[in-house]
Structure 1
Amino acid sequence: MDFVHVPVLLDECIEGLNIKSGGIYIDGTIGGAGHSIEIAKLMGPHGILVGIDQDINAINAARERLKNYGDSVKLVNDNFKNMKSIVHSLGIDKVDGILLDLGVSSHQLDEGERGFSYMKDATLDMRMDRKNPITAETIVNEWSEEEIHNIIKQYGEERWAKRIAEFIIRERQMQRITSTQQLVDIIKSAIPAPARREGPHPAKRTFQALRIAVNDELGILEKTIKDGVGLLKPEGRLCIITFHSLEDRIVKTMFNKLEKPCTCPPRIPQCICGQVPLIKIISRKPITASSKELEENPRARSAKLRVAERLVLK
C-alpha cells in the first residue's frame, strides 16, 4: 500500500516556520513528506532538510517523494527524541526551524495490520517503531488491572476506564486478546448503552491511550521540546502539531516555562534567579484547521498548531 498522508495545517506550518532560502530544517515526523516537500521547495538547493521518522515505511515513501532534492535531504529512521544527536552526527550545530506533527499518519490508520484503528479488525499492535518490543497486545494481556486502568484514564481521559480495565481482565482470563475487534467488543460491553450513544466512537479514547502508552508519546515530548529549542538559531522557529488535549497541554506548558522561566517570588522587585527567557510564543492560542481544510480532511478536526521563536540571547 502507498504511504498516503495528507499534511495537516500545511499552509499554517509553512508560515509558522518562516522558511528562508538556504536554511536548515528538521521535520521530526516526516511521514509521507507532505510538509517536507513544501519546506524543500522554499529552502532551495542550498538548504538542508533533515527528515526523521521511526516508521521505516514513512522513510521509504519520503525518500521516493524527495528524490529530486538529492543531498539537500537527509533521511534518518529514528525517533525524534534523538534529534539532537542525529543533527550533530550530520555535522550540523544549529537549525533554522523544526516541525513536529504528532499525529498518526493517514497511512498508519489505513494500514489495517498496524492495529491503530478501531474501525478495522487487525492484530493489536499500535507500534510506530516495529522494533519496539511492547505492543498493545502486550499491555492488555500482561499488564496489571491497575496499570491498564491508569493508562486508559490518564492518556484517554476515559470516564469508564475502571470498567473497561475490569472487563479486559475478565476477558483475558478466558482467552488472550489478540485483535482490535476483540478489544472493541470488550470496550462496548463495558460502557453502558446510553453512554455509547453519545459522543465519539466508544473505543476511540481507549485506543488513543494504548497508542500513547505503546509509543511513550508523552514521556518523550518534554525532552524533545527542550532539545529542539536548544538546537534553534536565534529567530529559528519550532512548530508543533498536536491531536489531543494531553499533548497540547504539555506543549503549551513547556512553551510558557521557556518564555517565562523566572522562579523568583512575585514580591521580589527584580529577578535574582538568573533564568533567562529562551523563546517568544508566536501563537498565543493554538492554530486550528480552516473550514475548507476540515471539509477536505476531517482528520484535521482535532489538530492544534503552536509556534515559538528562539530569542536572540544578549
Structure 2
Amino acid sequence: MHTPVLTGRVLELLAPALTRPGAVVVDATVGLGGHAAAMLAEFPDVRVIGLDRDLDALAHSERRLKLLAPERVRLVHAVYDEIGTVLAELGRPTVQGVLFDLGVSSLQLDTDARGFAYSRDAPLDMRMDASAGQTAADVLNSYDAPRLARVLRDYGEERFARRIAEAVVRARADEPFTTSARLVELIRDAIPAPARRTGGNPAKRTFQALRIEVNTELDVLARAVPAAFDALAVGGRLVVLSYQSLEDRLVKRGLAEYAQTTVPPDMPLVPPDAMPRMRWLTRGAEPASEAEMAENPRAASVRLRAAERIAPKPGRPQPTTGGAP
C-alpha cells in the first residue's frame, strides 16, 4: 500500500472544518484511498465522498475504505471537474472540505500496462480512465509535427519540442508507435548530447506532456478549482497538492480572485458583498520537508496550497453544517 503525500499537513489544515458536526469532505482524487483513510481515522464523524476517473483505483478504494467505515464513505466514478454535478446528484449543495492530490497515482505509475512510467517498456496508453478516450499512442501517431511540438512545449516545457516532434513524425512513417521504450530511445537521440547529461531522464518532460494531453488535465483543473471553491460552505477548506509548476500556477490563479475585493482599490468603502470570499492558509506553495522526502520520495516535487472560504457568494447565503453524503 502506497504512502500518501503530506498526510499530516493535510489533516492539520482540514481539521478546523472537518471537526464540525455533520462535516462532509470530498476527496476529489481518491486514488488508492490513502488520504481518505487517514481522514476517516482522524475525524470519527466525518463523511467522505471520493471521486476518481480511474475504475481500478475506485475498486481498490472500495475495498480499503469500506472496511474502515462503510457507512461514512460514498465513492463515485467521475472526473474532478464534475464535483458540482456529483454533489447536486447526491443532494449536497455544500461541503466542509475538498482535497485534490493531483498528478499520477501510485497505482497508475506502478502498473506497467498503463504506460505512465518511462523507465519501463510498456504500451503507450497513459489514460487515467482506461475505459475511454485517446491514448498516448493515438497522439503520437496522428498529430502533425507543429501540433505535437506545441503539446510538448506547453505541457512539458520541453526546450527541444520541435526536434522531438519532427523525429516522431519521421519515425512513425516506418512504423506506428506502440510502446514506451522506442519513444524513450527516439527522445534521447533527438536531444543534443549536452542536454542529456543534466536534468534526469530526458523523456520525463515528453511523458508529462503526453499524459496531460491525453487526460486534458490542465483544462479539467482550470474548471475544477472554481467548482470546488463554489462547493465549500463558509468555513470550509480546500487543500491542493500539485506536482509540477503548470498545475501549481493554475491553482494559484484559480483561487486568487476569491481573495480580492471586487471594487476599485480607491473606493473609500467596500460593501459587504464585495469583500474577499477566501483567505489563504498557506504562504505561497509549501514543499515537503526533508524528512518527508526521505521517507516518501514521491513527495519531492509536491507543492501544497490551502484556502478557507470566509464569505458566501453574494446574494446566496450558505449553511456551514454538513450531513450524510
Q: TM-score range by the shorter chain?
A: over 0.9
In the TM superposition, residue 32 of structure 1 has moved relative to its aligned partner by 0.8
Match of 2:289 in 1: 290
Q: Which amino acid aligns with 1:280?
A: R
Pairing 1:118–2:115 present? no
CA contact (8 A) 2:278 2:307 kept: yes
The CA distance in 2 between the partners of 1:161 and 1:271, in whole Å, is 48
Instruction: Name the CA distance, whole Å, in 2 between partners of 1:49 and 1:101.
Output: 15
Correspondence for 2:60: 61
> How far 1:247 moved relative to its partner?
0.5
Match of 2:10 in 1: 13
CA deviation digits over 1:201-242, x for unaligned, max 9? 100000000000100110011211111111111110000000
Cα offsets for 1:67-90 (capped at 9, x unmatched): 231121001111111111112211
- C-alpha separation between the residues in 2 aligned to 1:263 and 1:109? 46
> 1:263 & 1:198 partners in 2: Cα distance?
48
Per-residue deviation, 1:269:
4.9
Name the counterpart of 1:84. 84
- How far apart in 2 are the matches of 1:163 and 1:271? 53
1:135-150 map, 5 Å: 135-150=135-150
Question: In structure 1, how many angstroms separate the alpha carbons of the residues matched to 2:165 and 2:31?
Answer: 32
C-alpha distance in structure 2 between counterparts of 1:299 and 1:34, whole Å? 14
**Aligned residue number for residue 320 of structure 2:** none
Shift of residue 267, structure 1, vs aligned partner: 5.1
Deviation at 1:47, TM superposition (A): 2.8
* CA RMSD of superposed structures (Å): 1.8
Residue identity opposite 2:58 in structure 1: I
Moved over 6 A (4+): none
Give me the whole-angstrom Cα distance separating, in 2, the residues matched to 1:106 and 1:49: 21
- Per mean C-alpha deviation after superposition, the further-off stretch among 32-41 and 15-24 is 15-24
Contact 1:9 1:288 in 2 (8 A): no
What is aligned with 1:280? 279
**Cα separation, 2, equivalents of 1:262 and 1:93:** 24
Cα shift at 1:54: 0.7
**Gaps (5+ residues) in structure 2?**
318-325
SS of corresponding position for 2:298 = helix
Cα separation, 2, equivalents of 1:92 and 1:255? 22
Aligned mates of 2:85, 2:225 — CA distance in 1? 14
Q: Provide the C-alpha distance between the structure 2 equivalents of 1:229 and 1:67, rounded to a whole number of angstroms.
A: 27
Structure 1 unmatched runs, 5+ = none
1:100 is aligned to 2:100:
yes
Matched, 1:186 2:186: yes
Q: Alignment identity in percent?
A: 39
User: 2:48 aligns to what SS in structure 1?
Assistant: strand
**Contact map agreement 1:99 1:239 (CA 8 A) in 2:** yes
Structure 1 residue 73 and structure 2 residue 73: aligned?
yes
User: Residues 265-292 of structure 1: CA distance to partner in whole angstroms, max 9, x if unpaired?
Assistant: x5555569x7542211111221211111
What is the alpha-carbon distance in structure 2 between the residues aligned to residue 258 and residue 214 of structure 1?
A: 30
What is the CA deviation profile of residues 236-277 of structure 1, one whole-angstrom value per residue up to 9, with x for unaligned ones?
00000000000000111122112115363x5555569x7542
Residue correspondence of structure 1 range 131-280 to structure 2 within 5 A: 131-260=131-260, 262=262, 264=264, 266=265, 269=268, 275-280=274-279
**Cα gap change, 1:268 to 1:27, in 2 (>3 Å):** same
Q: Secondary structure at the match of 2:25?
A: strand
Spell out, residue by residue over 1:126-156, the C-alpha distance to the aligned partner (whole angstroms, 9 max, x if none). 0001122211001010011111101100110
The Cα offsets for residues 23-51 of structure 1, whole Å up to 9 and x where unpaired, read as 1000010111110011112332x432101
1:9 deviation in Å? 0.8
Provide the TM-score with structure 2 as the length reference: 0.91
User: Is the CA contact 1:229–1:310 (under 8 Å) kept in the aligned structure 2?
Assistant: yes
